């Protein structure tokens, strides 16, 4: 009898929570940062980079410490999470679906893929899907052409002259930084924050889905000098790279851009400047986020709005001598995901999440049906109880190659048959590839079987 009473009480509490969430959440604010690695944020343990507003959001939300992207560069990742598909754009996209549920849908900045810097300089739509939005706003900026102190760090070039700057489509553009005298109001992320604040005021009295895309810390690293001043390059620690670190990584697993290929290997101080510039733009982006959070509170929308913050993928800044993205190692596949929703307690979870889970999670929070085309899983159980995980692993894709991240293992299976295997408990930095070691063959076989099941369920080859 006691057990029965306990069950009845639990069901009543569950029903009460469901009703509370249903009554409270009317709006969604989706905020996407570009090329942001989870390990660069204070709320994810970084002791150097200053992210007070993200830390504030995290203190009021759930931090997913093991969230993973499905696409490993901008275009496939954004298409993936906006449709909750592992690749491609089958089914109805998130904004279009929320429009059909009576919500006003608006885009500010980069949500689907835009070329950075190309589409930012031109103010063009990139690969936007018009059916997603009732209204959309692009955010322009001069990017590498911003007047100020320009550096192309892999070539050791420093100048304040406007000529001969690496820009759209140019080979060295990913190693460019610009710091300048100014308040930052000319930058795309400032404009994104200002437009988002304007939209919040305009649509505060009706349900809305507003998706705001910040372009920083995507290259070029442009911000006012005051943000660079926070990070003297001399004090920037570089990641540990053991001698002969790449000897056990198969060719298919190597990044396209390395310290040696780019030339930045010759300039250790410039590698430190890359970290300083990255952190400067993260902090600048964080400050713009703060303006939006402040306005939500001022308008008293915090009690009716679910906020999701994420990045499209992570980034390499010299780990393994790798730079940029588009590979299957942890610094690229692991992303920050923070979900703050009224009626749910804040916390931190080790439960696995994939970016394709955002769409169905928002459906659950809004109490609308999840479309049949959606392949992600709702994270609402984890938001209620961080010890509960809808997933036992996470899947990422890169041009026909795949990775499976489990509680202990990171396993990569490449299109050409090459493999990598890492013990993430003993070797979280992925220095020792165990794929060819005899004592790990049974483990590898088990992981391969799990991967095949995941690919089959996702209708992937």
DSSP string, 374-395: --S---HHHHH-TT--S-S-EE
Provide the pLDDT for residue 2: 47
Residues, the chain, total?
461
Element housing 452 (H / E): helix 441-457
**Residue 21: pLDDT band with limits 50, 70, 90:** low
Nearest CA-CA partner of 401 in 414, 410, 418, 412:
414
**Residue 13: pLDDT band with limits 50, 70, 90:** very low
Q: Is the dihedral of CA 406, 411, 412, 416 positive or negative?
A: negative
CA–CA distance, 400 with 419 (Å, rounded to integer): 13
| pLDDT tens digit sequence for 271-290 | 999 999 999 999 999 999 99
In the predicted structure, residue 45 carries a pLDDT above the cut 60:
yes
| pLDDT tens digit sequence for 384-417 | 999 999 999 999 999 999 999 999 999 999 999 9
Contact 52, 363 (CB under 8 A): no
Please give the average per-residue pLDDT across 314-327, as a whole number. Answer: 98
> What does the CA dihedral 60, 61, 63, 69 come to, rounded to 10 degrees?
-140
Place of tokens 């080790």: 350
CA–CA distance, 202 with 340 (Å, rounded to integer): 22
| pLDDT tens digit sequence for 246-260 | 999 999 999 999 999
**The two structure tokens encoding residue 26:** 């009317």
Starting at the edge strand that comes first in sequence, how are the strands of the sheet with 419-423 ordered? 394-398, 401-405, 409-413, 419-423
- 268: cis peptide before it, omega within 30°? no
- 217: cis peptide before it, omega within 30°? yes
Provide the pLDDT for residue 15: 46
Provide the pLDDT for residue 23: 54
In sequence order, the 6+-apart residues with CB closer than 8 A to the CB of 394 are 66, 67, 68, 333, 352, 353, 354, 404, 405
**Residue 8: pLDDT band with limits 50, 70, 90:** very low
CA–CA distance, 414 with 417 (Å, rounded to integer): 5
> What does the CA dihedral 91, 95, 98, 100 come to, rounded to 10 degrees?
-70
- 117: cis peptide before it, omega within 30°? yes
CA–CA distance, 101 with 250 (Å, rounded to integer): 48
**What's the mean pLDDT when you consider all of the chain?**
95
Nearest CA-CA partner of 326 in 387, 265, 403, 390:
403
**The two structure tokens encoding residue 75:** 């275009």
| pLDDT tens digit sequence for 101-139 | 999 999 999 999 999 999 999 999 999 999 999 999 999
Provide the pLDDT for residue 1: 42
CA–CA distance, 38 with 339 (Å, rounded to integer): 14
In the predicted structure, residue 16 carries a pLDDT above the cut 70:
no
**The two structure tokens encoding residue 411:** 């396993």
Residue 161, burial from CB neighbour count under 10 angstroms (0-12, 13-18, 19+): exposed
Place of tokens 């009626």: 343
**The two structure tokens encoding residue 91:** 């089914």
CATH superfamily of 21-457: Alkaline Phosphatase, subunit A (3.40.720.10)
Strands (E), 182-332: 208-213, 221-224, 257-258, 305-311, 316-317, 322-324
Q: What is the DSSP string of 263-297?
A: SGGG-HHHHHHHHHHHHHHHHHHHHHHHHHHHHHH
> What does the CA dihedral 346, 351, 355, 356 come to, rounded to 10 degrees?
-110
In sequence order, the 6+-apart residues with CB closer than 8 A to the CB of 235 are none
The strand pair at 257-258 and 334-340 is best described as unpaired
> What does the CA dihedral 238, 243, 248, 251 come to, rounded to 10 degrees?
70
| pLDDT tens digit sequence for 208-220 | 999 999 999 999 9
Provide the pLDDT for residue 460: 87
Place of tokens 């930045």: 264
In the predicted structure, residue 349 carries a pLDDT above the cut 90:
yes
Nearest CA-CA partner of 227 in 290, 166, 180:
180
In the predicted structure, residue 6 carries a pLDDT above the cut 80:
no
| pLDDT tens digit sequence for 142-169 | 999 999 999 999 999 999 999 999 999 9
Please give the average per-residue pLDDT across 15-33, as a whole number. Answer: 74
Cα atoms found within 13 Å of the Cα of residue 215, Cβ hemisphere only = 30
Q: Is the dihedral of CA 103, 109, 111, 112 positive or negative?
A: positive
**Sequence ranges of the domains in the chain:** 21-457
CA–CA distance, 245 with 254 (Å, rounded to integer): 11
């Amino acid at each position: 009898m006691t057990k029965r009473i306990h069950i009845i009480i639990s069901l009543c509490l569950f029903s009460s929570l469901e009703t509370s969430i249903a009554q409270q959440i009317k709006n969604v604010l989706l905020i996407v940062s570009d090329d942001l690695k989870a390990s660069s944020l204070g709320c994810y343990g970084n002791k150097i980079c200053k992210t007070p507003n993200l830390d504030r959001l995290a203190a009021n939300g759930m931090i997913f410490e093991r969230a993973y992207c499905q696409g490993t560069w901008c275009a496939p990742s954004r298409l993936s999470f906006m449709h909750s598909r592992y690749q491609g754009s089958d089914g109805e996209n998130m904004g279009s679906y929320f429009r059909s549920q009576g919500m006003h849908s608006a885009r500010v900045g980069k949500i689907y893929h835009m070329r950075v810097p190309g589409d930012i300089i031109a103010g063009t739509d990139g690969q936007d899907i018009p059916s997603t939005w009732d209204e959309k706003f692009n955010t322009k900026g001069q990017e590498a052409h911003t007047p100020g102190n320009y550096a192309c760090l892999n070539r050791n070039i420093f100048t304040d002259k406007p000529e001969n700057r690496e820009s759209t489509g140019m080979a060295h553009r990913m190693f460019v930084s610009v710091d300048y005298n100014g308040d930052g109001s000319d930058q795309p992320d400032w404009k994104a924050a200002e437009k988002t604040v304007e939209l919040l005021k305009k649509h505060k009295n009706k349900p809305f889905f507003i998706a705001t895309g910040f372009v920083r810390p995507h290259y070029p690293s442009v911000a006012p000098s005051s943000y660079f001043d926070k990070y003297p390059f001399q004090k920037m620690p570089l990641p540990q790279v053991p001698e002969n670190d790449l000897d056990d990584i198969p060719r298919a697993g190597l990044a396209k851009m390395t310290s040696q290929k780019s030339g930045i290997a010759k300039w250790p101080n410039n590698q430190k400047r890359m970290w300083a510039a990255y952190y400067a733009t993260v902090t600048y982006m964080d400050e713009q986020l703060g303006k939006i959070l402040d306005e939500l509170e001022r308008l008293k929308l915090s009690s009716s709005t679910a906020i999701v913050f994420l990045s499209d993928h992570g980034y390499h800044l010299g780990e393994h001598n790798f730079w940029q993205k588009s590979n299957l190692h942890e610094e690229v596949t692991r992303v920050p995901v923070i979900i703050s929703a009224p009626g749910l307690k804040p916390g931190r979870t080790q439960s696995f999440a994939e970016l394709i889970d955002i769409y169905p999670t928002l459906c659950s929070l809004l109490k609308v049906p999840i479309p049949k085309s959606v392949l992600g899983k709702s994270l609402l159980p984890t938001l209620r109880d961080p010890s509960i995980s809808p997933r036992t692993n996470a899947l990422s894709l890169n041009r026909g190659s795949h990775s499976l991240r489990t509680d202990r293992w990171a396993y990569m299976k490449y299109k050409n048959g090459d493999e990598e295997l890492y013990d993430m408990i003993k070797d979280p930095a992925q220095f020792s590839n165990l794929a060819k070691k005899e004592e790990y063959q049974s483990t590898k076989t088990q992981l391969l079987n799990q991967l095949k099941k995941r690919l089959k369920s996702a209708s992937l080859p």
